[in-house]
Structure 1
Amino acid sequence: MTTHPILNHRVMEFTPAYVREARDALAATVAKLPPSAAAKFRAFEDAAFAATAAADAARAKRDEKLKPVAALREGVARSDSPHPANLKLLAQLEPELEHAEEVFRRFHAERISTGMAFSAIQRALEELPPNARFVEAPAPEPKKGQTLTTARETVAGLKGNIAALEHSAPTVEEQEAALRAAIAKRGEIGRPSMDRTGRLRTEAATNASAAALAVACWLDPEGVFDRMVAEGALREGGSLSAAEKAAALATLRASLFEAELLEEALLLRDGGTRRNDADPLAILGIKVEASAKRRAS
């Protein structure tokens, strides 16, 4: 609660309900983390706040140096014959300003980097369901010769394999089934029915062409299918069925998580810069445990 300087009365300051709810939900999620993960979360939080405070202090010092330099620069620029004392003072202060500016840029970059890391972890926890349960996920023991560079090469390779598999074509059989289902769905729109007045009607279509296609799909679905196949509606089929692809993706994603756990362990051991797209759960060293209902299904 503060006093407004103009109206001279007390103004109540309230935190919006949605902000309080989000904050409380995050606190509840953090409270369920394993102790080591909760400690890491707090460390990231503290580092983000500290980096913000350091950057703000560096900006204040930069601004403090900037004011007299800006005044001197303006005075020198306006004068045809600047006073030697002003020139000497400007020459003395400008290097100090440059140093303060460099210090501010360094702390500002650290604030951005630290803030992004903490924000990514915070968002990941906020997106989890309220009933999420966590288990510790210890990093695998580094093998001989493994470094942060080799770990990141493994991560990049696995991400490439996952992307390629996600975008791979369905099998020919699955494409055919999908095409037949689309034709059948469109045919339902073209299916005529008789209203109470004895008139034949079909469901509303966006235009005459869509209506004609719908009627064709109802009247001769196999003919529409054959014609579309003849005109190249099907792509070259992939080798994995949807179920096989899902299983392969699950295996690759599990391997990727293990690789990111190792990467985080190597980063903490050897130092380095954390990737902006590093998995927040791997950073915390946790896995989300499947619910009892999901395990039973």
Structure 2
Amino acid sequence: MTTDPRLNHIEQGFPPRYVAEARDALAATVAKLPPAAAAKLREFEDAALAGEGAVGAARAKRDEVVRPVTELRTTVAQSTAPHPANLERLAQLEAELEHREEVLRRFQTERIAANVAFGGIHRALEALPSNARLVAVPAPEPKKSQTLTSVRETIVSLKGDIHTLETSAPTIEEQEAALRAAIAARAEAGRPRMDRAGRLKIAPTANAQSAALAVACWLDPEAVFETMKQDGALREGGAMSAAEKAAALATLRTSLFEAELAEEVLLQRDGGIRRADADPFAILGVRVEVGAKRQAA
């Protein structure tokens, strides 16, 4: 037996327990997929495998031409007066080589796209908790005005709105409450305690400055709060409370999921290249439900 330094375990001819557990967990999640989604997942897996085979076959065909082209190029380069038949044959083979390389590049592009889609779905399913439910979502009927470009513009806009809202500042009241809570938590570390020997002690801190701050927070938390406020500890307040922000984000994420469902319908109908960051669950046409909460994954 040999030790694998990457995994720090003894190779025994079978995978470690955590690998088997992850495989079983993924199999259990896949088993929950509605029939249409399961069939689509198999299609992606088949496409990924077929892509590997197509690339291998195209590479083999390309390699069949590489050797004679290389040999003829060498012969022509070493001759001061290349034979016309060699030049003609080299031109033919170079054209054939260019064609076969183009075919290989096309299959490589298709293989990458298939692997990206299948890999993204695979990772998304692996990340789901064991209590997740996967519910089929009816494919929306595209509106007459909708095109792949217009839907993708909507997706970009919604993602921008979500990012802006997620990174927006809390309200002043929420920032003040958070600062007071932080001061109160630090005050607990600065609260003096008497040990069995009758000596006053505070909780261990990283250094003297940290200890001094903890004691100050215990002695006069309001003074610490006002000083930090004057020193600019608070940012300009946002307009929405945490509850309002959560509700707005839920609405935006629902709209985004619906837009990605529409995008997938248009791709299936009209063709096109799938985005690398497309929502795996929108691709499969399923909604994720965890417990009593529903998430438009």
Name the residue aligned to 2:8: none
In structure 2, the partner of 1:267 is 267
- Distance change (3 Å), C-alpha of 1:65 and 1:203: same
Indicate yes or no: 2:61 matched with 1:56.
Answer: no
Are 2:190 and 1:190 equivalent residues in the alignment?
yes
Alignment CA distance shift 1:273-1:210 (3 Å): same
C-alpha spacing 1:286/1:203, structure 2 compared with 1 (3 Å): same
User: Structure 1 residue 69: deviation in Å?
Assistant: 2.4
Question: Deviations 1:16-54 (Å, cap 9, x if unpaired)?
Answer: 554444344333322221111111111111111111110
Note if contact 2:131-2:290 (Cα within 8 Å) is conserved in structure 1. no
Kindly indicate whether the alpha-carbon contact (under 8 Å) linking 1:55 and 1:107 is maintained by their aligned counterparts in 2: yes
Distance between the aligned counterparts of 2:57 and 2:14, measured in 1? 28
The one-letter amino acid paired with 2:55 is A
Q: Superposition pairs for residues 103-182 of structure 1, below 5 Å? A: 103-182=103-182
- TM-score normalised to structure 2 length: 0.87
Residue 70 of structure 1 corresponds to 70
Residue 220 (structure 2) aligns with: 220
1:287 aligns to what SS in structure 2?
strand
Tell me, in whole angstroms, the C-alpha distance in 2 between the residues paired with 1:13 and 1:290.
37
Residue in 2 that maps onto 1:7: none
Equivalent residue number for residue 44 of structure 1: 44
Q: Displaced runs of 4+ in structure 1, greater than 6 A?
A: none
Aligned residues: 282
SS in 2 for 1:247: helix
Q: Which moved more, 1:209-218 or 1:62-71?
A: 62-71
Q: Is the 8 A contact 1:172 1:237 kept in 2?
A: yes
Offset, 1:200? 2.2
The verdict on how the C-alpha distance between 1:112 and 1:239 changes in structure 2, with shifts beyond 3 A counting, is same
Q: List aligned pairs for 1:228-247, cutoff 5 A.
A: 228-247=228-247
The match for 1:207 is 207
- How far did residue 66 of structure 1 move? 1.5
- Structure 1 82/112 Cα, relative in aligned 2: closer, same or farther at 3 Å? farther
Q: Spell out, residue by residue over 1:100-139, the C-alpha distance to the aligned partner (whole angstroms, 9 max, x if none).
A: 1111111111100111011111111111122322211113
Q: Partner residue of 1:34?
A: 34
| Cα distance between partner residues in 1 of 2:169 and 2:217 | 25
Task: Specify every segment of 5 or more residues in structure 1 that has no aligned partner in the other structure, as ranges.
Answer: 1-11
CA distance in 2, matches of 1:192, 1:15: 53
Match of 1:248 in 2: 248
Q: 1:162 to 1:62 in 2, by over 3 A?
A: same
Q: Find the counterpart in structure 2 of residue 94 from structure 1.
A: 94
Closer, same or farther: CA 83–17 of 1 in aligned 2, 3 Å: farther
Within 1, Cα distance between the matches of 2:231 and 2:240?
24
1-structure distance, mates of 2:239, 2:183: 25
Amino acid at match of 1:265: V
Q: Percent identity?
A: 68
Instruction: Give the letter aligned to residue 172 of structure 1.
Output: I
**Deviation of residue 233 (structure 1)?**
1.0
Distance change in 2, residues 1:83/1:15 (3 Å):
farther
SS in 2 for 1:134: strand
Give the TM-score normalised by structure 1. 0.87
Taking the aligned partners of 1:180 and 1:16, their CA distance within structure 2 comes to 48
Q: CA deviation at 1:86?
A: 4.9
CA distance in 1, matches of 2:44, 2:22: 19
Preserved contact between residue 138 and residue 285 of structure 1 (Cα < 8 Å): yes
CA RMSD of aligned residues (A): 2.2
Unaligned runs of 5+ in 2: 1-11
Shift of 1:87: 4.6
Supply the distance in 2 between the matched residues of 1:197 and 1:237 (Cα, whole angstroms).
Answer: 49
User: How far apart, in 2, do the equivalents of 1:214 and 1:13 lie?
Assistant: 55
Does the aligned pair in 2 maintain the 1:29–1:125 contact within 8 Å?
A: yes
How many Å separate the matches in 2 of 1:217 and 1:285? Answer: 53
SS at match of 2:288: strand
| Aligned partner letter, 2:260 | E
